[in-house]
Amino acid sequence: MTEPADSTGDLIPLAVVVTTPAYSGLGPALTYVHDRALEPGTLVRVPLGKRELLGLVWDAPGLSLEGLEPGQVRPVLQVLDAIPPLNANWRGLASFAARYYQRSLGEVALAALPPQLRDLQPEQLARKLKRLAKAAGTEHLAPESVPMGEATTAPGLSPEQAESLQRFQQADRPALLFGTTGSGKTEVYLRAVQDLLEQDTLAQALIMVPEINLTPQLEARFTERFARWGVVSLHSGLTPAQRLDHWLLAHQGQARIVLGTRMAIFASLPRLRLIVVDEEHDPSYKSQEGARYSARDLAIYRARLESQGRASSHCRVLLGSATPSLESWRAAELGRYLRLDMPQRIGGGALPRLRLVDMNHQPKQCVIAPPLVSAIAERAARGEQSMILLNRRGYAPVLACHACRWKSDCPHCSAHAVFHKIDRTLRCHHCGHSSRVPYACPDCGNLDIAPVGRGTEQLEEQLAGLLADARRADGGPIRVLRLDADSTRAKGSLEQRLGQMHEGEFDLLVGTQMIAKGHDFRRITLVAAVNPDGGLFASDYRAPERLFALLLQAAGRAGRDAEFVAAQGAAVELWVQTWYPAHPLFAALARQDYPAFATQQLQEREAALMPPYSFQALVRAEARTQEAAQALLNLAAQAGEPLPGRQHLTLYPAVPMAIQRLANVERAQLLIESDSRPALQAFLTAWQEQLQLARSQPEAKGVLRWAIDVDPLAI
């Protein structure tokens, strides 16, 4: 432990970043003093008011105490010098993210650190580091010589994989790996990491995935291949102790490979030379709370930072997807990204053929079309598996009384409480409120209240009934497995259920979008989407892009094992039940033609001047009343007229958000559009003061908070 400096000695001023909001007016860093100079990036504990906070020493050339009275600046309390300082590239990433996403530097930099680090004393931290070193057998070894097992032999590459890997390694810009589902993108990632680690004895690689449920199986593949180099994961599913351990191993260079979700973009990797962003199109890479950053976009910026001054060992970034985001596709068209195409499946497997089921011609009240039920039964009888996608969990979206039109609304949100039959509860999927299902309508006493719509619970129940007389290959009844956020709450349940599906214990998998991406099911030959029409006519202009990506990703779960398909003589198919079979989206889906779909969508976006042809920001306000939330935004908009960049912007009037009330808090938003990113950034930076001033006006009384979302994904 480092004691505070004696107030009578020579004191050295330090700029220290702590967690303070952008509107606090305290500036990006506060001034403290210590009896010795500390390197930027050093972790310290400092007083702020009556609290003691974790802080980061920051770059502040020319900082002095001139003009300050003795005792006016408080001393650093402790220095956590057992941890090497966070390097300049990491600090540069945090600074850029704070500026671009309009948050304070402390909110970004400190939130990126493991939470447990805020509570450990220097002595505790030193003991933890010693235990980690001893456990890894590295107490007296350099990181590059850590003996952590042997690597397995890599399979051979297809010509497409080999060409893509070679072009990527020679590229002088970010690369977009556009590979159809089952084309072997993961093996390209693995081989890129292998080549890097064999060439550079200190290099580190960051592999990012959009969902936590994809991390365990990917981690298993990387650990099997690269055990001797050290593989750790970083995601919110870890315990605080695990997260700290993994972060420390990466920070000290003992872990050469880090796998993680969006939070991993801020991992401290002092020798980072490769970043892979798998399923780069996925909206999960955009944070929806705190600093609303895009991990995919920050990956591009971080690679640029890590490459500065390194002509021979720059950091490469590889974005991979079968359905790239339109922003990335456009960047590749303009030449900012190198596009690598892999249109063929490994082993020559066929892509699923689309079969549209026109629900206008099916029996009334039909949930699953009879031809689809028959197709599932036929495949189960041959030992094949099927998968049905319904992106709504629970039994039904709402309970309703048809006598008085009562609906099961959440008492705290402007949303319905979802009916979960398995435990007879009504749950709000927004605020978490839960209540028992009433025996009768609370308004009129009618006993005949009924579910409206359907979720995965109901679909599982109905399929079990429809397939009750069908038999699987061994003569037993067809078994249905449901996979969604409700069925995988228990620790280890996700891995267990996935393992059962892989082993062939179940014939039919029913689930939400969590089953549609990343999984390598070998026996599935049929995939069906039950109710995708909501994405065809949604108010969100990104809805068609997301629907096309979801359906194509789901289709990719079928026919992944070409040998199994050939042996079975199976037809690999994607069934889509729709009321609008003539919609143009399905025509592109039938051809598996993402380039044509992307071209059509980009033409529409350009005509409407929507991203990526313009730039947007959403300002959201939360208040006790809707009037106060909208007043804050409209007052700030009026005050922003003379600010820099305003002439290049369009500010729309404030409106309620789609879910207007959440947990008894009213929410409103204001959209800003511009044809100039610099103009938008200049305005937002200057506008924060006006937002804070508007909060003090009588019309805005009751405002709780506001936040800026740059490059929003939902409007």
Q: Is the model's pLDDT at 262 over the cut of 60?
A: yes
Q: What is the dihedral of CA 349, 558, 527, 525, to 10 degrees?
A: 80
pLDDT at residue 365, as a whole number: 82
CA-closest candidate to residue 128, choices 30, 252, 300: 252
pTM score, two decimals? 0.92
In angstroms, the CA 693 to CA 279 distance is 41
In angstroms, the CA 579 to CA 584 distance is 13
pLDDT at residue 287, as a whole number: 93
Residue for token digits 């590749």?
332
Q: Write the pLDDT tens digit of every residue in 374-395.
A: 999 999 999 999 999 998 999 9
Three-class SS of 103-149: CCHHHHHHHCCCHHHHCCCHHHHHHHHHHHHHHCCCCCCCHHHCCCC
pLDDT at residue 366, as a whole number: 87
Q: Write the pLDDT tens digit of every residue in 270-299.
A: 999 999 999 999 999 999 888 899 999 999
Q: Write the pLDDT tens digit of every residue in 637-691.
A: 999 999 999 999 999 999 999 999 999 999 999 999 999 999 999 999 999 989 9
Q: Write the pLDDT tens digit of every residue in 469-524.
A: 999 999 999 999 999 988 888 888 888 888 899 899 999 999 998 888 878 888 99
pLDDT at residue 144, as a whole number: 37
In angstroms, the CA 197 to CA 226 distance is 9
pLDDT at residue 684, as a whole number: 96
Number of H helices, E strands in the chain: 18, 28
- The pLDDT mean for the chain works out to 90
Topology match between the domains 123-346 and 349-393+455-600 = yes
Q: Which residues contact 543 (CB under 8 A, 6 or more apart)?
A: 534, 535, 536, 537
DSSP string, 368-402: S-HHHHHHHHHHHHTT-EEEEE-S--SSBSEEEET
Pick the CATH number of 123-346 from 3.40.630.10, 3.40.50.300, 3.20.20.140, 1.20.120.420: 3.40.50.300
CA-closest candidate to residue 320, choices 283, 285, 279, 282: 279
Pick the CATH number of 12-112 from 3.40.50.620, 3.40.50.2300, 3.40.1440.60, 3.80.10.10: 3.40.1440.60
Q: How many residues does the chain have?
A: 715
DSSP string, 512-574: SGGGSSS---SSEEEEEES--GGGTS-SSTTHHHHHHHHHHHHHTTSS--HHHHHHHTPPPEE
Confirm or reject CATH 3.30.70.360 for domain 615-710, answering yes or no.
yes
Which H or E element spans position 670?
strand 665-674
Q: Write the pLDDT tens digit of every residue in 684-693.
A: 999 998 998 9
Could you say which DSSP state residue 157 is in? P
CA-closest candidate to residue 47, choices 31, 26, 28: 31
User: For the chain, what are the domain ranges?
Assistant: 12-112, 123-346, 349-393+455-600, 396-453, 615-710
Q: Write the pLDDT tens digit of every residue in 106-124.
A: 999 999 999 999 888 888 8
Section 213-220 average pLDDT: 77
In angstroms, the CA 584 to CA 700 distance is 46
pLDDT at residue 380, as a whole number: 95
**What band does 149 get if pLDDT is binned at 50, 70 and 90?**
very low
Residue for token digits 């909206």?
283
CB 175 within 8 A of CB 280: no
Confirm or reject CATH 3.40.50.300 for domain 349-393+455-600, answering yes or no.
yes
Dig out the tokens for 603 from the structure: 């033409």
pLDDT at residue 312, as a whole number: 64
pLDDT at residue 211, as a whole number: 85
In percent, the amount of the chain with pLDDT more than 70 equals 94
